[in-house]
Amino acid sequence: MKSRMERSCITNAEQLLLTRGVHGSFLARPSKSNPGDFTLSVKRHSEVTHIKIQNSGDYYDLYGGEKFATLAELIQYYTEQQGLLREKNGNVIELKYPLNCKDPTSERWYHGQVSGKDAEKLLTEKGKLGSFLVRESQSKPGDFVLSVLTHEEKPENADRRTKVTHVMIHHQDGKYDVGGGETFDTLSDLVEQYKKNPMVEKSGIVVHLRQPFNTTRINAANIENRVRELNKVADSSEKPKQGFWEEFEMLQQQECKLLYPRKEGQRPENKGKNRYKNILPFDTTRVELKEVDLDMPGSDYINANYIRNMHNEGRYAAESKVFIATQGCMQNTVIDFWKMVYQENTHVIVMTTKEMERGRNKCVRYWPDSDSTMDFGRISVKNIEEQNAQDYVLRELEVLCVDRSEPPRTIWHYQYLSWPDHGVPSESGGVLSFLEQINQAQNAIPGAGPIVVHCSAGIGRTGTIIVIDILIDIINRQGLDCDIDIPKTIQMVRRQRSGMVQTEAQYKFIYMAVQQYINKIQKRLDKEQRSKVKEREYSNIKYPPLTNAKQKPNAGSSRASSSTGIYLSICLPVCLLAQRCNLAIVKHYCSYCHYFIIII
C-alpha cells in the first residue's frame, strides 16, 4: 500500500508531465516510500509510467541491470541507449526530454546540471583565479556544489598553479548551508555572504569568490528572469558593460574558432557571384548545384549554406527542419537561385528585406509581377496571386521546369517588410506571427525540402530568423521546461555559415522573441488548466442520463425543479430548451447535463 505522501508525489509528478510535458518527457524524484531511492516518471502519450531507481549506497540501478555511480549517469545511459528500457511486456519506454525543475535562482553563475568534470574544464580553460559557479550535485541529487578556481596547495613563494575546489552546498527544509554554521534562505544569499567573507579550506587555502563564471544556459520557462538579469544596469563596482553586451562580445570572441575553408567562393570564376566579396559560404556546408556543365568552372557554385540543428557532438538533430541561408539575388545569380530552389524541392522562400533600402539595392527582383510569368533559364515562374498582410507580402508562385515532364510546383514566397533599415523591429510579435504562417505552409506540404531564407548578405536578419525558429522548434518538441542556450545556438549555426546574427540588437531581439513566445504558450497552458479545473468541478454534479432522447423530461421531478440554477450557470441556454421540448432530432450531447440537444 502506498502512503498518502507517496500517492501525492505520484499525482504531482503525473500532473507536471501531463500538463507541461510531451511524449518522452521524464523526471526523476526522491522516493517517499524508500528514502534514498528515486522514481523515474515518463510521459508516454497520454499516460505516465513510473520506474523505481535503487540507491544501494554503492551504486544506482533499476533493481537489476546496469549499475551507475550517479543518478545523472543512469539517466544519460538510458536516454542515449534507446530501446533498452522496456516494460515487462516488452514495450519500449522512450526517455527523450528531461522535464527540468525550475532553477533555484536566475543568477547567471548557476549552471544547472553541468558535471564536476565539465565545471573544472570550464573554469580552468576560460576562468580566472577566483572565478566560481554553482551547479547541481550529481552524487547527492537535491544538493548543490560551489566550484571555484583557486591556488594549489603550495608554499606562498612557490610557483603555484590553479586548481578547482568543490564545496558541497546542502539543501534541507528550504535552507542552504555549506556544512554547519550559518544557513541561508536562497543560494544568492549564500554566495553573497561568501563573496564578502571568504571560506578557508582545511589546508589553509582561502577560497575567494572574485568573479562569477556566467552560464548562457537557461530553463526556457525561466527566460523572463534571465532577461531581467541581462537588462540590469551594472553598478559602479562592476564592469561598465554587462548583460546582453557581455554575452554577445563573448560570442564574437569565439568567431576565430569557426574559420572553416571557403575556397570555392574565392575562386576567380565565382568571385562575381558574391554580393559581398568577404561574405562567402563554408565549403563544408555549401549548397552545390547539380545537373550543370562540369566543363564550365564554377557552374555548381552559389553563395548558400545548409543550416541544420546540431547536437554538441556535431551530430544533426534527427527531428529538426533544414534551412538554406543565402544572399539576396544579383542579376547574374537569379538563374542559379531558381536552379537551387527547384533542385532542393523548396516550397517556402523567406525574404527579410525590401528590394531597395536607403537607396541601395538589397536584392534583385527574382519573381514576376502578379498574374505574369517569367523564365529563368530552364525554370518558368508564374505569379498566381499576391496577398498583403500587416507586416509582409505573401506570393503564390507556380514553378515549372520546362525540360521535364513534371507537374508544376506551388511555392510560397513570404517577404517581410517591417524590418527597419537600421536595428530590429520594435517588438517581436510581428516576426512570431510571420514565422507561424511560414511553418504552417511548410508543414502542410509532405516531403517539402529546405526553407530558403535570405536578406541581403544572408547572415544578419537571416541568422536572426533561423535561430528564433530553431529555438521555438526545441520548445515545441521538448516542452516549456527544457533547457535552451541562445549563444550556443547562434554558435551552432555560425559553424554552418559565417557571421550569422550580426549585431547586439539582433542578439537581444532573439531573447525578446523567445520570451514573448514562451509567455504566449504559458498563458495558453494556464487557460487550459483553468478550463480542466472547471470541468472537474462540474463533473462532481451527478445527473441520471436519459434513456430515450425523444422523451420529454418530467417537469415535476426534483431534478427539474431544484437544478434550474445550475443549468443557467454551467450549460448553454439551448440545454434549458432541450429540457422543455420533445426533440425528435439529435444533434449534440451535452456532457454537463446529459441531454441530447439541437441548435435552433
CA–CA separation, 385 and 379 (whole Å): 19
Is 421 known to sit in a ligand binding site?
Answer: yes
Distances (CA, A) of 233 to 230, 243, 244, 300, 581: 8, 8, 11, 51, 68
Give the per-residue SS3 of 86-105.
ECCCCCECCCCEECCCCCCC
Question: What residues contact 57, with CB distance under 8 A and at least 6 apart?
Answer: 36
Residue 357: phi and psi, rounded to 5, are: -140, 125
Helix or strand holding residue 199 (H, E) = strand 199-200
CA–CA separation, 516 and 339 (whole Å): 37
Is 103 known to sit in a ligand binding site?
Answer: no
In b/e form, how buried is each residue of 90-116, taking b as 16+ CB within 10 angstroms? eeebbbbbbbbeebbbbbbbbbbebbb
Distances (CA, A) of 247 to 114, 130, 250, 253, 427: 19, 20, 5, 10, 21
Counting Cα atoms < 13 Å in the Cβ hemisphere of 544 gives 9
Task: Concatenate the DSSP letters of all residues of 108-119 into one string.
Answer: TTB-TT--HHHH
CB atoms within 10 A of CB 118: 13
Distances (CA, A) of 175 to 110, 139, 197: 17, 19, 19
Identify the active-site residue in 9, 329, 363, 455. 455
CA–CA separation, 147 and 166 (whole Å): 4
Q: At what angle do helices 504-539 and 4-20 cross, to 10 degrees?
A: 130
455 is annotated as an active-site residue: yes
* Active site residue ranges: 455
Annotated binding site for substrate: 421, 502
Annotated binding site: 421, 502
